[in-house]
Amino acid sequence: MDIDILKARDNVEESFLNTGLSPVTKFFVLLTVLIMAGIWLDVRYLLPLLVLGLILAIMAKIPKSLFIVMITALLLTWYPTLRTTVMQANPDYYQVLDKAWAATPVATVNVKLLNLGNVGLTYGTLYWLTGRIVRYLTVVTWAVFFIVTTPMSEIANTMYALEVPYQIVFVFQMTYKFIPYMSSVINQISDAQKLRAWNMRTINPKKLLQRAIPIANPMIRRTAMIVDQVTIATQIRGFGSGTPTPMKAISLKGYDKAIMVVFGAAFLVAMVGTIAFKWGAL
């Protein structure tokens, strides 16, 4: 199934989360969640963050197609994920979980090469894998929520108001627009080639490479055209000639401040618990 990220992102019904909250508030909340999701490994601590993110995503009426893209991207990382998982079988890696429970084998093999020891699936590795998956889903869910509910114009204006260097703002804008746009271009080229009876489905690596050429050639040409267009557009708009001025100053309402206080306090408590009591550790 082809999914146009550009259309899915832009065709979002507006809600209070889209128009009511300040971009500063949403960015502050996103930052606190991403930091904690990056530190914690235990699924018991990550799951509440994921559930809260999904609730906000539903309230913001984010298209389901974006979550399909998220799951697809997760499935594409199966090999490095599996490779890392089987290497977590050593019970000494776990400081909080019961070592005997973590070492309980499911499917393991003793590798004497380089003294690797037991490699494979244990209760500990499966628990670690579950936490990794939940962490990925948490990070992407919150990132999608922020991107979909916050227009690029507001993000750029806020960054300028915070005196972020315009070079960083430009790179952020290009990333925000380029990836969904290229996804849309790939879908267009793929649809055009399918009308010519083109299909990449094959398990033969040689044939796969040959069948990729009809989509690779137009992609390379289109990418070169996009780079040229961006260069001309930046020159016309005088990029680099001076520091841009924000269109409006940052304005925080009462509920914006309240939300930032709540998440700030929760972040401080979580950091103290992580350092002093090993919250989120395995």
Q: Each residue of 118-141: pLDDT tens digit?
A: 888 999 999 999 999 999 999 989
CB contact set of 260 (below 8 Å; sequence gap of 6+): 24, 25, 28, 29, 252
Residue 6 pLDDT > 60, yes or no?
Answer: no
Angstrom distance (rounded) from CA 92 to CA 100: 10
Q: Each residue of 53-85: pLDDT tens digit?
A: 999 988 888 877 777 767 777 777 788 888 889
Residue 41 pLDDT > 90, yes or no?
Answer: yes
pLDDT reported for residue 242:
66
pLDDT reported for residue 227:
76
How would residue 28 be classed by pLDDT, with cut points 50, 70 and 90?
very high
- Torsion sign, CA atoms 165, 171, 174, 176: negative
pLDDT reported for residue 164:
82
The residue written with tokens 């499935």 in the block is 75
Q: Output the average pLDDT for the chain.
A: 82
How would residue 2 be classed by pLDDT, with cut points 50, 70 and 90?
very low
Other beta carbons within 10 angstroms of residue 241's beta carbon come to 8
Angstrom distance (rounded) from CA 167 to CA 173: 10
Compute the average pLDDT of residues 95-102: 92
180 and 3 in contact (C-beta within 8 Å)? no
Compute the average pLDDT of residues 156-179: 79
Candidate from 21-30, 40-49, 72-81, 95-104 with smallest mean pLDDT? 72-81
pLDDT reported for residue 233:
73
Beta bridge partners of 121: 107
140 and 165 in contact (C-beta within 8 Å)? no
pLDDT reported for residue 205:
67
Angstrom distance (rounded) from CA 217 to CA 222: 9
Q: Give backbone dihedrals phi and psi of 244, rounded to 5 degrees, phi first.
A: -65, 150
What's the start-to-end Cα distance of the chain, in Å? Answer: 38
pLDDT reported for residue 9:
52
Beta bridge partners of 110: 118
